[in-house]
A = this chain, B = another copy of it.
Amino acid sequence: MTASSHHDVLGIGNAIVDVIAHTTDDFLAEHALVKGTMRIVDAQEAERLYDRMGPGLEMSGGSVANTMAGIASLGGRVAYIGKVRDDLLGRVFRHDIAAAGVTYRMGLTQHGPATARCLILVTPDAQRTMNTFLGACVELGPEDLDHELIGGAQVTYLEGYLFDPPRAKEAIRRAAEIAHAAGRKVSLTLSDPFCVDRHRADFRGLIERHVDILFANEIEICSLYETKDFDTVVGAVRGHCEIAALTRSAKGSVVLTADAAHPVAAAPVERVVDTTGAGDLYAAGFLFGLTRGRALADCGRLGSLCAAEIIGHMGARPETSLGDLAKAHGLE
């Protein structure tokens, strides 16, 4: 990664405000919710669930937006593309992403559905179960792409969740083409095993043609290749991507290239409070390291460190300076 750039990473994703509440396993069972996964809900179901769930904590979220906030906290230069409405949550989202140091040039949409929200239920085991009302995100299309931002960023980073809104998949293919035409890299996170299940063919097509750096957890990557055998996964992913960073929760992660595999340990955490954003912040640390020319194993270590910070408290945006944290661990 060499050519001069305006930004280290440009992220494109569903711009979402999270509503996070503690819950019980019984509540998940009552509402037939599958722990640890994300499902799409309509406005009515979102209202129904909100009425029944516990007191909430509202904060900006969105997988890729969390990653961008994480890279900014590490000291990286980042930009974001994602759509919100001109309503209170939209203004909250715009404030928070800008205040985190992320370039965000999009205006607030004046018409159409409300700003997206994700009702996140955190069980006592710190697992999160997500219910997303996509709202204004469904309007994202190729016309929202900022070619200058994409062409000027070392890496364009995309989330698998973008396959859910109807026209965003056109946008991400187009974004990948623009990035590659400018000699840049394209990165994708698979986001969620059910999301992979809903759009497997689209995912595979995108990865084969466009993805240089892939992020996934074990379950997601196994779902993508419809196998339980990790060796099969390793073979397949090596054929398609330059780099794959595969996370394995408490077992750490493994970074794969065509001819090497770097195992990375998970960073120790005093108390796991809420796993929301663990994958997003792993990607933040990894991409920051990569765009700063660090060795792949160190990129993985940076990822683990950032993930460990985020799971120690509620919410998916860092509470402390990740740059200071990285320095304290000799990984600046």
A99 interface contact, C-beta 8 A = yes
A55, A56, A88, A100, most chain B CB atoms within 10 A: A55
Q: Beta-carbon contacts of A2-24 to B below 8 Å, as 1s and 0s?
A: 00000000000000000001100
Chain B residues contacting A92 (CB-CB under 8 Å) are 56, 58
Complex CA gap A315/B314 in Å reads 11
Of B50, B55, B96, B319, which one neighbours A56 at CB under 8 angstroms? Answer: B96
Tally chain A residues at the interface, Cβ within 8 Å.
Answer: 27
Task: Judge whether B89 and A55 touch: CB under 8 Å.
Answer: no
A59 interface contact, C-beta 8 A = yes
Complex CA gap A21/B60 in Å reads 12
A313 interface contact, C-beta 8 A = yes
Chain A 52-89 interface residues, beta-carbon cutoff 8 Å to B: 53-60, 69, 87-89
Task: Judge whether B314 and A99 touch: CB under 8 Å.
Answer: no
Task: Judge whether B50 and A95 touch: CB under 8 Å.
Answer: yes
Complex CA gap A271/B156 in Å reads 38
Q: Beyond the given A55-B69, A56-B59, A58-B58, please list 4 additional residue pairs across the A-B interface where CB-CB is below 8 A.
A: A55-B95, A55-B99, A56-B95, A57-B58
Interface residues of A (CB under 8 A from B): 21-22, 50-51, 53-60, 69, 87-89, 92, 95-97, 99-100, 313-315, 317, 319
